[in-house]
Amino acid sequence: MITAQVEPWHPTIDEIKPLLHGHWEELALNKDKVPLDPQWEFYDARDARGELMLVTLREAGRVVGYFIGFVAAGLHYRTCLTLTMDIF
């Protein structure tokens, strides 16, 4: 059975990192011009500010999918808390 759950950024991201390259290989366009190179320090900073949401999909305890989004007040709508998707 696959379940979805919100998880903390650390240490869960360490389970996700091994999946990233395969994900990029499968889905990314123009890979020769846009290499995979996450700016982890910015993810960490947003997590420290409580602005990052991570949802995992697990099967038998193993991560098989993920969703990452950034949560913040909307630039155009100050009072509207808005999630901007990073990757899934």
The residues that touch other proteins, with contacts defined as CB under 8 A, are: 1-3, 5-8, 12, 15, 56, 58-63
**Distance between CA 65 and CA 2 in Å, rounded?**
10
**15 vs 51, which CB is nearer to other proteins?**
15
Q: Residue 2 Cβ, how far from other proteins at the closest point, in Å?
A: 8
Pairing of strands 2-6, 62-73: unpaired
**Distance between CA 79 and CA 4 in Å, rounded?**
28
Q: Residue 33 Cβ, how far from other proteins at the closest point, in Å?
A: 36
**2 vs 29, which CB is nearer to other proteins?**
2
**27 vs 60, which CB is nearer to other proteins?**
60
Which of 35, 43, 34 is CA-nearest to residue 71? 43
